Structure 1
C-alpha cells in the first residue's frame, strides 16, 4: 500500500490481518477538511483491495474522534453558492458535484468489503457521525459524545447520517437527534443502539476494538465478506437513493439567510438567530 505513505489526515497501520485507520486532523479535534475527504476513499479503497486485511478499526487521534466538518477550511467551496444569484444553476450544479464527492468519500467506508469497527472517544459531531454510521460496528468510551448537529448550522445533514442511522437506531431516535441537534452521551448512545458497548477509557475501547477485529479476522475472510454483502443488499440501494435526494435538496435550498447567519455566528462565537429565510 505504497500510495498511503504520503497521507496528511489519516494514519494507517496494519498488524497481522487488522488495519487501524486513525484520524489525524490536521484541523482541531480531527476536524474534516479537504485532505480528509480526498484521502478517506483512497485509504478504504486500498484496504478493500488488500487481501492481507480482514478487518478495519477506525478511530481518532487525541481526545476526540472528530469535531466534524472543518468549516473554516471548507467554507471557500461554499462561498460562490452562498453569494450568487439564487436563480443561477451553474454554482448549484458545481456544489452538487462537490457534495456527491463528499458523499462518495463516506460511502467508501460502507463499501469496503472488510468489516469496519469504529472506536469512538470524546466528541463525534456531524461529519464524524456520518462516518461512524458507515461503519459496521461502533464502540465507545465513557466520555464519548455524539451529535447530528447540522440543523444547528441551518443544513440538512447530507453525508449519510439520515440515510444510515435509521437502520441503526430507528426512526424515532433518528428524528429526535436530527430535529434537535442535541448532544448524546455514551450511556444514551448505547441505550438507543448507536454503539454496541461502552468502555471506561479511550485505551479500553481501542483494546476492545482490536480484540473484536482479531476475532472477526480469524474467521474465513470470504465468508465474512459475503455476510457483509448479503446484509447490505437491501440497505445500500436505499441509502444511495436517499443521498441523491438530499444532494438535490440541499443544492436547491441550502443557500439561505439562516445559513449565512449560522456561519457569521460561528466566526463571531455567538448564538445564531434564525428567521426562517
Structure 2
C-alpha cells in the first residue's frame, strides 16, 4: 500500500538529504508537502553539523510538479473524490502561495543546496530545482514548465530564477510551448550544471556535497551570499566587508593560509549555528 506523500529527511556526515517521497505520482507535490519543506529547512539552517543540503526524489523522477489530483479531492481530503471543482479545490491547489513560499525558503537557505535531478523535473519540480544552488541531472532528465497546458500563471519568483539561469529566450520558449527539454539541452542552456550516468548520480552528488562540506564554510557561505546579491543587483560594500571580517574573526583565513604554507590540508573550524 502506498505511503502518504511526504518529504523525508536523512543526514550523513555534513550532508542532509531531503527526499520528495510521492513516487506513485512521480513525486508530485501536495499542498502538505509544499508547506512541509520550509519547516524542514528551518532547523537545518541552524544546525552547525549540516553544511550542505541535497534535494532529490524517490524512485526514478525528481518531481512532476504540483499534485493536480488534489483538484478532485473529496470531502475527506483524499484524492480522486469526485468531479473537479475549479472554484474551490482548484483555487486551493493552483494558489501559488505555498509553492512560492517553499521555493523562496529553499533559495534563501544560507547553506549550499544541490538538486539531484533524475527523470522528470516539471513545473513545481523546476521551481524547486532552480531554487537550489547546483543541479546535477542524468541523460533521462526532462525539464519543463507546462503552465500553458493548464492555464496557470507560473510563479514570478521562480520565473526570475529560470531567466537568470537560462536567459529570457529559453524561458519564453519553455513557457510558450510547455515542451520538455532533454538533459543535454538543459545543460547547454544552464538549467543543469552537470549530466552524469544514472548509475553514478547518487555517488557523484554525495562526493560533491562532501567536497563542499570540507571547505571553509565561511568562504562557501560568503560566496553564496555575494553571488546571490550580485544576481539580485543588491551587492553592497558593507555586505562584502562583513564577510571579509567574518573570515578573519572565524580563524578560517589564518588556517587556510597557514595550511597552504605548511603544505597540509586545512582544518577549518565548524561554523557557529
**TM-score, scaled relative to structure 1:** 0.73
- Taking structure 1 as reference, are residues 101 and 236 closer, same or farther at Cα in structure 2, changes over 3 Å only? farther
| Structure 2 unmatched runs, 5+ | 78-83, 235-273
Q: Is the 8 A contact 2:103 2:158 kept in 1?
A: no
Answering whether residue 214 of structure 2 is matched by residue 218 of structure 1, we say yes
Answering whether residue 229 of structure 2 is matched by residue 233 of structure 1, we say yes
- In structure 1, the residue matched to 2:105 is 108
- Aligned runs of 1:96-245 on 2, under 5 Å? 99-158=96-155, 160-201=157-198, 203-236=199-232
SS in structure 2 at match of 1:165: helix
- In structure 2, the residue matched to 1:16 is 13
Q: Tell me the alpha carbon deviations over residues 144-189 of structure 1, each in whole angstroms, 9 at most, x when there is no partner.
A: 1111111111112116431111111111111111111101111111
Per the TM alignment, residue 66 of structure 1 is displaced from its structure 2 partner at its CA by 1.2
- Distance in 2, Cα, partners of 1:224 & 1:53: 13
Per the TM alignment, residue 74 of structure 1 is displaced from its structure 2 partner at its CA by 5.0
- Taking structure 1 as reference, are residues 107 and 10 closer, same or farther at Cα in structure 2, changes over 3 Å only? same
- Distance in 1, Cα, partners of 2:86 & 2:149: 20
Q: Is the 8 A contact 1:27 1:33 kept in 2?
A: no
Aligned pairs, how many?
A: 222
Q: Is the 8 A contact 1:102 1:159 kept in 2?
A: no
Per the TM alignment, residue 26 of structure 1 is displaced from its structure 2 partner at its CA by 6.3
Q: Is the 8 A contact 2:23 2:61 kept in 1?
A: no
- In structure 2, the residue matched to 1:56 is 53
Q: Is the 8 A contact 1:106 1:159 kept in 2?
A: no
Q: Which has the higher contact order (CA 8 A, sep 6+)?
A: 1
- In structure 2, the residue matched to 1:242 is none
- In structure 1, the residue matched to 2:251 is none
Per the TM alignment, residue 24 of structure 1 is displaced from its structure 2 partner at its CA by 0.2
Considering only CA atoms, is the larger Rg found in Structure 1 or Structure 2? 2
SS in structure 1 at match of 2:59: coil
Q: Tell me the alpha carbon deviations over residues 220-245 of structure 1, each in whole angstroms, 9 at most, x when there is no partner.
A: 1122111111111244589xxxxxxx
Q: Is the 8 A contact 1:19 1:56 kept in 2?
A: yes
- In structure 1, the residue matched to 2:243 is none
Per the TM alignment, residue 106 of structure 1 is displaced from its structure 2 partner at its CA by 1.4
**TM-score, scaled relative to structure 2:** 0.74
SS in structure 2 at match of 1:12: strand
**Structure 1 stretch displaced more, 101-110 or 62-71:** 101-110
